[in-house]
Chain A
Amino acid sequence: MHPLLLWFHRTGSPPEFYRLSGLFLPWMYALAALSGLPALYLGLFRTPADYLQGDSFRIIYIHVPSAWMSMFIFAFMAFAGAMALIWHVKIAEVIARAAAPIGAMFTAVTLITGSLWGRPTWGTYWVWDARLTSELVLLFLYFGVIALQQAIEDPRKAARAAAILALVGLVNLPVIHYSVEWWNTLHQGQSIRLFASDKSTIDSSMLAPLILMAFATKFWFAASLLARARVLVLEQESGKDWVRQMIRNEQGLAS
């Protein structure tokens, strides 16, 4: 067997994954804190207020990275699902299942922070803007995947069904996005594009915390994903020898 394939198979085995993820987990949390806390400090205290929006613009340091993550995690989940479908990798199934609630959380945070920012800026918590509507549909898609994962009792069958749905959803996402945009122009909706003209002229003092925060959310996702996946692995492998052995060792150390 090719050494790379061998490594892949070994890392994909539950006990090895459990061991490795245990090593990585604290580092991921540390990196998330190291990038996230300075980003928050810079964004909330050091960056000058925006000449148009005053201090309310600072919410973008939470909002925009969350929005990026909401889409990234859906693609990630669909990709892990594809691996589960094609190669029946147990760990890919677990990873996809662990990713779904985190993605839903980021999507919810995106919507909530967006509406909090919308109130002082647009004068309303919610408009049927194309971006907002697409993000809401994305949340519904996450809910569908999560509901399907939880409805089917056999975790392996649940993983395969959810993977199919995630893949179909992923193919559908651009269609949904563009159809909603077209619908919005048809209905003469508000099309406030505050950042369309600012994109190139955003000041570097404003940009640095944003980039840092984008890294922080990625590390946080990795940490959260590993922590969830470890619990799921233990749950699914609870009858296996390696888990028993581990529990025994821990109890032996404790007593």
Chain B
Amino acid sequence: MSDAVIWPLLKRDALLLFRRRSETLAPLWFALIVATAFPLALGPEAAKLTRIAGGVAWVIFLLASLLSLDALFRSDVEDGSLDVMLASRRSLTLIVACKMLLNWLGTALPLLLLTPVIAYAYDLDQGALPVLLLSLLLGTPIICTFGALAAALTAHLRRGGVLLSLIVLPLTLPVLIFGAGAVEAVITGGSARQPLLFLAAGAVVTVAFGPWLVAETLKTG
């Protein structure tokens, strides 16, 4: 990847992640606050929390991922970087893939690291934690891809906030169902094989076609 265009771009975006610490950490704080809100709203009985832990982790990620999307392409559209990228003879698909990867590293990875803490606080079964982590690992790329698509569709608008969630949430419902279902299946003594395989298939398809689709969407804008 010692590419004259891609490498500086990756470095720039990674630097931005580090420099704008408050923005980068926003999904994490958000996740912690929502994770605290559920027990407060539903009561502290351990049995109840154990049952909802998997679903809550998934809802938290889905909502937290929406936070970082608005900024994904907008700054590049507004300051003309996108035009420069289009004019450079690099494949926009590759550039977009890099941006999506960084977006995943910035939002999904911290939340993945936070998940064991949430699982412990909610008293989730020890056996269900690996399944929850695996489902998140497979499912988060799908959500990030649909998120990037929504960000590309709304990149030329001044504000994409509500529109983003309206686009992303219906498309990602299957991920939520399979992700939370995998954990549910383990807790109720079933097998999580089927939902995890579905998530894996979805991850393969979206990671393969996602960057290209998002790049084409940015071009039509």
Contact = CB atoms under 8 A, between A and B. Distances in A.
Interface in A113-162: 137, 140-141, 143-144, 147-148, 151-152, 157, 160-161
Given A143-B166, A152-B156, A186-B184, A175 B220 contact: no
Given A140-B170, A175-B174, A148 B163 contact: yes
Say which size band chain A's interface belongs to. Answer: 20 to 34
B174 A164 contact: no
Contacts of A172: 171, 174
B175 to A, nearest CB: 9
A171 B135 CA distance: 22
A168 interface: yes
B202 to A, nearest CB: 8
Contact of A179 (B149, B169, B178, B217): B178
Contacts of A143: 166
A219 B178 CA distance: 39
A176 B173 contact: yes
B152 to A, nearest CB: 9
Contacts of B174: 172, 175-176, 179-180
A151 B153 CA distance: 11
Nearest to B168: A144
Interface string B154-191: 10110000010011011101100110010011000000
A157 B177 contact: no
Nearest to B158: A151
Interface of B: 146, 149, 153-154, 156-157, 163, 166-167, 169-171, 173-174, 177-178, 181, 184-185, 194-195, 198, 202, 213, 216-217, 220-221
10 contacts: A144-B163, A144-B170, A147-B166, A148-B153, A151-B154, A157-B221, A172-B171, A175-B202, A180-B177, A182-B178
Top 4 A-B pairs, shortest CB-CB distance: A179-B174, A140-B170, A160-B220, A183-B177
